[in-house]
Every structure is written in structure tokens, then in C-alpha cells.
Amino acid sequence: MYDYGSMEFVVWDPITGRERRIHDEVPDVYTNHAVLCAAGAGCDHSGCSGGPFLLACVGLQGKIIVKAYGCIYSSEAGAPSVDPTYLGYIHFDHHECDLEDQSAALVGGALHFFGNSGILRYDVLGGRRLSVIELPPANFLGSSTIVMTAENGGLGLATLDGHYIDQWSTETGPDGNARWAHLKFIDLEPLLPAGSLKTPALSGFAEDANVIFMSTDDGTFTITLKSMLARKVCEMGKLNPVFPYVSFYTAAACARGTLAPPVGTQ
């Protein structure tokens, strides 16, 4: 979250209510953000709640030919861990490019932020480079689109076209370069209750659970891609975007006070 009054990034744990604040050194530049665990490569993320983290920020400025910026903030340093990265002028397929307000996908050590004219890739765990990935063919975009992890572990996209979800993923072509490949169509009519497909929208993706969130006038649903099962998780409709959050009760987390003990335990 962002506190415009104090010009601070607010990293909030919805389970404990704990907040961590980092001052924004360059206001009005960064528009999209992602939080990454900084506990180390061996962390399985079952007990790192409240631990060190990195806040990755990106932003675009300009029309058609735009400037792209990226920066990494450290919770321990409280300031940018590197100077803001300026990629330079980028051409986004002859269109103005705006980054969508949705979760980024972490694939191959890089964060991927979806924009209406391309995907901004930020190599946060490597050389801290910014680059642009073109979208699939021109007729690809539906009424709403999300970036996600594909079934093959690569970068994926899902777009809503009528009552179908159209899935794409990247693969390595014969020339060794990555390219988009169509995966499948998902027909939503057999999955969702009758009448719930009025003005639907793809609103989020939970990576570890491999679940897509969809908001409709009838409420918010999850669609598990492996089992193709749909479930209503909220009566409120038009929740867009959805930012999934996962937390675990562990002995270590309870001992250090990060989480309160579950009900019924001493």
C-alpha cells in the first residue's frame, strides 16, 4: 500500500496487522510494486512472515515512447539498495503503455508486470535489468488479462474472451529465443453458476495454489487450474484487483510472536 500523506510505502500483514514502512525517495515515479522474501535461497516461506523483505518498484513515464524505471528497497536498509535503474526509451508496439494495477508474476528470478501494450520484466534477483516482452498476436487481448506462472513453469498469460479464458505461455523456439505459445481455452459456462458471467473480470492469480480469481456481479470465484473446479469465495462482486495472501501457523512464528497461537492451544 502507499501512504500519500507521509510519502511512504506500507507493507501490511493482514493476519497480524503489523506494518512496515519505507520512505519513498522518488515520489510520483513508481506505480507498481511487489514484495519479495529476503530471508535467503533456503527459505520455504512457511515461517518468514515478519522477516526481512525486498520491495521492488517499477514505473513508466511518457507516451508511446516511454521511460522505464525500477528500484529495489530493502526493509533492513530502509532506503533503495541500488540506485534507480533507468532503462531508457522503450517502444511499446505503437501504443501508449500503462501498467495494470495487478500482482506481478515472479518467473525465473524476474518480476513481470503486465501492461496494455507489453510486459515490463524486472530482473530483481540477477542483474537488476529492465526489459520489455511483447504480447502475443494482436487479437490476443480480451476484456481483462492477468500475468501468471504457466503450467510449464514459464511466464504465462490468461485473458478473458466472452465466457472463455484463453491461456498462453512462453516456450523456447528452434532459434533458441522465447516465444508465445497458445495453451488452451477454458469454457467458464460449465464451471460457474448460471447468470454469474455478467461482466466478469480476471482479477488475480495465486501462484502456489495455481488458482485464478474471477470477479463477477454475482461474487468472486476461484478457479483451480489443475482440477478445473470453481468455488465462490466472496459474496462481494467486482473485487478487482485481488492480491492473494498466504500465511502459515508454525511453532517458530508463534514463539517469536509473529503469529498468535491458534485457538484452543496453550
pLDDT tens, position by position, 63-112 = 666 778 888 887 776 555 545 555 555 555 545 677 888 889 999 889 99
Average pLDDT, the chain: 79
Count of beta carbons in the 10 Å neighbourhood of residue 27: 11
pLDDT tens, position by position, 174-199 = 776 778 888 889 999 999 888 788 88
Quote the CA–CA distance of 256 and 241 in Å, as a whole number.
32
Confidence tier at 254 by pLDDT (50, 70, 90): low
- Which secondary-structure segment (H or E) carries 251? helix 251-255
DSSP 181-241: EEEEEEE-TTTS-TTTTSS-EEEEEETTTTEEEEEETTEEEEEETTTTEEEEEES-----S
User: Could you tell me whether strands 53-63 and 65-74 are parallel, antiparallel, or unpaired per DSSP bridges?
Assistant: antiparallel
* CA atoms lying within 13 Å on the CB side of residue 134: 13
pLDDT tens, position by position, 23-65 = 777 667 778 888 887 766 666 656 666 777 888 888 887 766 6
Dihedral of the alpha carbons of 142, 145, 148, 151, in degrees to the nearest 10: -20
Q: What is the pLDDT of residue 40?
A: 66
Q: What is the pTM of this model?
A: 0.83
